[in-house]
Amino acid sequence: MKRKCVIWLLIALLTASLLSGCGTKGVETGLSMDQAAAEIPMPEEMESLASAGYDGGAASASSSTAPDAKSDAKIIYTADLELEATDFDAAVSAIKALTEDCGGYFSSSSLSNGGSYRSASYTVRVPADKYRDFLDRAGETAHLLDLYEYADDVSEQYYDTSGRLRTQQTKLDRLQELLAKAKSMEDIISIESAISDTEEQIDRLSGELRWYDARVDYATVDISLREVSRLSNVPEPAQSFGSRMLAALKEGLSSFADWMEGLLLGLAYGWEWIVLIGAILAAALLLIRRARRRRKSKKQEP
């Protein structure tokens, strides 16, 4: 039990050494574990060091590697585009061509054919250095209605995570050195447990950095495209009275044709009811005529 306490105190000492930037004399000079343990602080001091944890070391490392120039900033760019087009197929082809030309790709896409007009939604990922060029040229693929841009500066989070990762990697190296010098099975098990925890932290921090890199290196653009018969917010050229009259006649004729078309379609869908109602009316007229004939014949009798 005493030896187990010594090895845990020695691990805590390694943590404190990363905070202070210098190694423990007992470990660096190759002293035995018992000799190194003799230089470990009192339990009260050790508790204060353990309460600081590796967060303090990570903060120190991240502050020393924080970006000093604007070019080192880590910024996530995103944008929302709302487009419309009278030639829907041409607009879709133009968006695909623009994405390919900028070296991007579609992370998701959907197409809706419901109703009289079609619509599409795309999520495009483009390299960050092509982001501005993509937005400038996107308005040429179709009529631009709305554009919303967002820039999220994650430099502080990124470099803090990077510093934490280096701290954990340094801790792992020192624990592996200590494992190579351990002799008892109890010491080996204790150190291997600490190594396993450190490796989990390294995997988690590495995953966070990969997530940041993926979103910093490639901007995200959400595109909404819909098909219309007439573009919005586009003023029409002035027309003469004759042109407006002709347009009104055409529109009236088109409305009448649509109404007739709807009527005929309604009759076609309900022909069974029309036949049934016609049969009932015919039977009713026949009965009425017979009743009138009987009345006339009675009046003519002496």
Q: What is the pLDDT of residues 50-84, one digit of tens each?
A: 333 444 444 444 444 444 545 689 999 999 999 99
Structural domain spans, the chain: 70-163+177-235, 243-297
How does DSSP classify residue 72?
G
Q: Which of 148, 196, 150, 137 is closest to 172 using CA atoms?
A: 196
If we measure between CA atoms, which residue out of 128, 131, 206, 197 comes closest to residue 166? Answer: 206
The sign of the torsion formed by the CA atoms of 113, 114, 116, 120 equals negative
Distance in angstroms (rounded) separating the CA atoms of residues 114 and 281: 41
pTM: 0.57
Contact (CB, 8 A) for 94 and 81:
no
Task: With a cut of 50, say whether residue 272 has pLDDT above it.
Answer: yes
pLDDT exceeds cutoff 90 at 240: no
Q: What single DSSP character describes residue 115?
A: S
Q: What digits encode the pLDDT tens for the residues 87-115?
A: 999 999 999 999 999 999 999 999 988 77
Least confident of 85-94, 119-128, 177-186, 280-289: 280-289
Task: Compute the average pLDDT of residues 161-168.
Answer: 95
Query: Are residues 138 and 144 in contact, defined by beta-carbon separation less than 8 angstroms?
Result: yes
Taking the C-alpha atoms of residue 233 and residue 223, their distance in angstroms, rounded to an integer, is: 19
Burial 19-35 (b: 16+ CB within 10 A, else e): beeeebebbeeebebee
Q: What is the SS3 assignment for 220?
A: strand
Helix axes 55-64 and 2-20, enclosed angle (nearest 10)? 20
Residue with tokens 């040229």: 137
